[in-house]
Amino acid sequence: MKLQVLEPAHPLWVETVRTLRHDIFHLPQYVSLEAKRCGATPEAILLEEGDCIFFLPYLLRHCNDVADGEAIPDLFDVVSPNGYAGILLNQAALEQPEFISAAMEQIIQFFGDRRICSAFLRLHPIINQGFHEIYSSEACTANVETVMIDLTPSETEMQKQIRHGFREVIKKRKREGYVTKMQSLLGYVDVFNSIYEETMDRVGAAKSFYFGHDYFYQLAEELGEHLHLGVVELEGQVICVALYTECCGIVQYHLSGTKTEFVRQSPSVLLNDYVRFWAKERGNKVMHLGGGVGGAKDSLFHFKAGFSPLTCRLPVLRLITNPQEYRRLVELHAQGLRTSVEQLVETNFFPAYRSPLRV
């Protein structure tokens, strides 16, 4: 089995992705932008054997920040870029589970040899549907549900998918003069960032949910025609915004925000309703809305479920690729937090040495 580590500029990255059904999270420009935001190194592994292809993009992070200043040798871990990257497999690979198992074994060994202690990989809920059944391992779970909209039925059938209460909101907002549009983010970066950050402030979001003006500008530049901005206006004022990505027949609901004074009017219901028909008209097959915060079935999940009864399982890989060094990092992190290794492990946060637990 041939293994290659690719940097974003390597022509094989683009060439491989083009031959497989993929999403924006697999594109080298997106992975590079995420790496820059996180202070990580963007890489991808390409495994080939016969006709089988296995492709995995990820971010390589240094673990120096884990031990609260204590000197440690060069140790690393791997994480997926924000969103749903996961693994790309061609049809030949999908038909040979033994190839997938062998590829996973080789990746675990390769990561361990590179002093990579762990890998936390969020797979793609549509492209990697059923991966946890193909690759049967305790390290692979699919406990999180996300909401998706099937765009292939008729518009009449699609109208029946939406929650009754949402239908009433949509009718009322339209009567009141609310207007929905699709725009280019480049002309609205300031507006989007302002409304998005106002929303994050309102819900008390963690620091990691803030991206900043420059990030959104670069995202628009890098993704180009793959990125769309949905807006809701009232009397010429933008009151609600959402980013949607489009790639290989898949539309993703990415990030959104609503001005505080209009939250009760639920303009995001009007916007998502508009976008699902916009996505259908463009020939897309599925619109993925995602799940709740941290995978929980919370109010955000309940909101998304109002647009469709369909859900899909999100496969996640939690790989400990260097057990000895992993354990040492957990012990160092536990010491820094003045807690026990057992308490860190019990949080189910992975990797445990990055758990935000405070005692």
Provide the residue-wise pLDDT of the chain in tens; the chain has 359 residues: 999 999 999 999 999 999 999 999 999 999 999 999 999 999 999 999 999 999 999 999 999 877 665 657 789 999 999 999 999 999 999 999 999 999 999 999 999 999 999 999 999 999 999 999 999 899 999 999 999 999 999 999 999 999 999 999 999 999 999 999 999 999 999 999 999 999 999 999 989 899 999 999 999 999 999 999 999 999 999 999 999 999 999 999 999 999 999 999 999 999 999 999 999 999 999 999 999 888 888 999 999 999 999 999 999 999 999 999 999 999 999 988 889 999 998 888 999 999 987 54
Give a yes or no: residue 37 inside a domain: yes
Co-location of 140 and 11 in the same domain: yes
Co-location of 135 and 158 in the same domain: no
Q: Which of 262, 284, 306 is the last residue of a domain?
A: 284
The answer to whether the beta carbons of residues 56 and 12 sit under 8 Å apart is no
The answer to whether the beta carbons of residues 286 and 249 sit under 8 Å apart is yes
What is the rounded distance in angstroms from the CA atom of residue 42 to the CA atom of residue 39? 10
SS3 content of the chain, % helix, strand, coil (to 5): 45, 25, 30
Give a yes or no: residue 206 inside a domain: yes
Give a yes or no: residue 342 inside a domain: yes
Give a yes or no: residue 256 inside a domain: yes
Co-location of 129 and 164 in the same domain: no
What is the rounded distance in angstroms from the CA atom of residue 309 to the CA atom of residue 331? 44
Q: Where are the alpha helices (DSSP H) in 124-266?
A: 131-134, 155-161, 164-175, 189-203, 213-223
Place of tokens 């996961």: 86
Q: What is the domain range of residue 335?
A: 2-144+315-354
Place of tokens 């974003």: 8
Q: Is the dihedral of CA 26, 32, 36, 39 positive or negative?
A: positive
Q: Where are the alpha helices (DSSP H) in the chain?
A: 11-18, 28-38, 91-94, 97-113, 131-134, 155-161, 164-175, 189-203, 213-223, 267-281, 299-305, 323-337, 341-346
Co-location of 128 and 250 in the same domain: no
Q: How many domains does the chain have?
A: 2
Length of the chain equals 359
The answer to whether the beta carbons of residues 119 and 111 sit under 8 Å apart is yes
What is the rounded distance in angstroms from the CA atom of residue 160 to the CA atom of residue 260? 30
* Beta pairing class for 250-258 and 286-290: parallel
- The DSSP result for 107-146, as a single string, is HHHHHHHTTEEEEEEE--TTTTTTHHHHS--TTEEEEEEE
Co-location of 129 and 256 in the same domain: no
Give a yes or no: residue 162 inside a domain: yes
Q: Which residue in 32, 38, 68, 46 sits closest to 1, CA to CA?
A: 46
Co-location of 64 and 113 in the same domain: yes
What is the rounded distance in angstroms from the CA atom of residue 252 to the CA atom of residue 190? 22
Co-location of 217 and 325 in the same domain: no
Cis amide leading into 42 (omega within 30) = no
pLDDT in the model for residue 359 = 43
Angle between helix 11-18 and 28-38 (nearest 10): 120
What is the rounded distance in angstroms from the CA atom of residue 348 to the CA atom of residue 32? 29
Q: Which of 261, 284, 307 is the last residue of a domain?
A: 284
* Beta pairing class for 52-62 and 88-89: antiparallel
Q: Which residue in 144, 101, 107, 102 sits closest to 122, CA to CA?
A: 144
Q: What is the CATH number of the domain that holds 15?
A: 3.40.630.30
Give a yes or no: residue 246 inside a domain: yes
Give a yes or no: residue 299 inside a domain: no
pLDDT in the model for residue 26 = 98
Co-location of 29 and 11 in the same domain: yes
pLDDT in the model for residue 172 = 97
The 10s digit of each residue's pLDDT in 173-198 is 999 999 999 999 999 999 999 999 99
**The pair of three-digit structure tokens given for residue 69, joined into one six-digit string:** 């200043």
Q: Give 163: exposed, middle or buried? Use CB within 10 Å, 0-12, 13-18, 19+.
A: middle
Co-location of 243 and 322 in the same domain: no
pLDDT in the model for residue 23 = 98
Co-location of 32 and 140 in the same domain: yes
Co-location of 160 and 274 in the same domain: yes
Give a yes or no: residue 293 inside a domain: no
* Beta pairing class for 140-150 and 250-258: unpaired
Q: Which of 240, 268, 284 is the last residue of a domain?
A: 284
Co-location of 135 and 196 in the same domain: no
The 10s digit of each residue's pLDDT in 16-30 is 999 999 999 999 999
